[in-house]
Amino acid sequence: RKEVEQDPGPFNVPEGATVAFNCTYSNSASQSFFWYRQDCRKEPKLLMSVYSSGNEDGRFTAQLNRASQYISLLIRDSKLSDSATYLCAVNPWADSWGKLQFGAGTQVVVTP
Amino acid sequence: DTGVSQDPRHKITKRGQNVTFRCDPISEHNRLYWYRQTLGQGPEFLTYFQNEAQLEKSRLLSDRFSAERPKGSFSTLEIQRTEQGDSAMYLCASSSRTSGRVPPGELFFGEGSRLTVL
């Protein structure tokens, strides 16, 4: 079983719609959680960190559920430019910040 | 450009040859990481440095792989006797505990060095 798992998708989303997807992690001691966005053949870029209380950044909302060991990302009012692969990343080690475990990514395709 | 830069961006080599990648991190970042990403997978941690010290190596990093960061600035990743299974994108990232408002752990990735072993 992989330590960080994501639904690979693709999630086909009409422009303007809402899409949400989860990422599960196996290590209950995990400390930090992140969502990265990766465009085709490009480097990952941090989309947002995920805080215990949940957090929102514009059209993006991230949630953490420690009891069930998953994080979620919700995208509202989807734009064509939101089409990308969304990678979740988990840091299970207290002092090894930056040493992240990534999921394989969830592909989102926003259609006109 | 003050981001992470990697060189070369693309490398095609024959099996058995040696290759070396270079990474220049963001100048004020003291931590530098190497990750490897294959098609359809997320990045996998290989190794990281704090300043010039290599603090950890993944078991993915076989003895054919060696990484250095001699002066605590740029880093090199060398692969000796390349194999077809080494074909991947090699990503360098840097970070700093004082990255500002984001918690420690935000990685700034370079554009990667794509290796194809024939």
Q: What is the pLDDT along chain B (118 residues), one digit of tens a residue?
A: 579 999 999 999 999 999 999 999 998 888 999 999 999 999 999 999 999 999 889 988 889 999 999 988 999 999 999 999 999 999 999 987 654 444 556 789 999 999 999 9
Write out pLDDT tens, residues A68-96: 999 999 999 999 999 999 999 998 776 66
- Considering only CB atoms, A105 lies closest to which of B42, B45, B56, namely B42
Can you tell me whether residue A80 is helix, strand or coil? helix
A89 CB within 8 Å of a chain B CB = yes
Cβ–Cβ below 8 Å for A32 and B93: no
Q: Which two tokens stand for residue B32?
A: 């530098």
Is B110:B91 a contact under the CB 8 Å cutoff? yes
Q: What is the pLDDT of residues A10-62, one digit of tens each?
A: 999 999 999 999 999 999 888 889 999 999 989 999 999 887 888 999 999 99
**Would you state the pLDDT for residue A91?**
87
At A93 the pLDDT is: 73
* Chain A residues with CB-CB distance to B107 below 8 A: 44, 46, 98, 100
How high is the pLDDT of residue A30?
86
B19 phi and psi, to 5 degrees? Answer: -135, 150
Query: H-helix or E-strand containing A12?
Result: strand A11-14
- Residue A91 CA to residue A97 CA, distance in Å, equals 7
**A64-83: burial string, b at 16+ Cβ within 10 Å, e else:** beeeeebbbbebeebeeebb
Residue B101: predicted pLDDT = 47
- In the 8-state DSSP scheme, what is residue B103? P
B28 class by beta-carbon count within 10 Å (0-12 exposed, 13-18 middle, 19+ buried): exposed
Closest-CA residue of chain A to B57: A99
Nearest CA in chain A to B108: A45
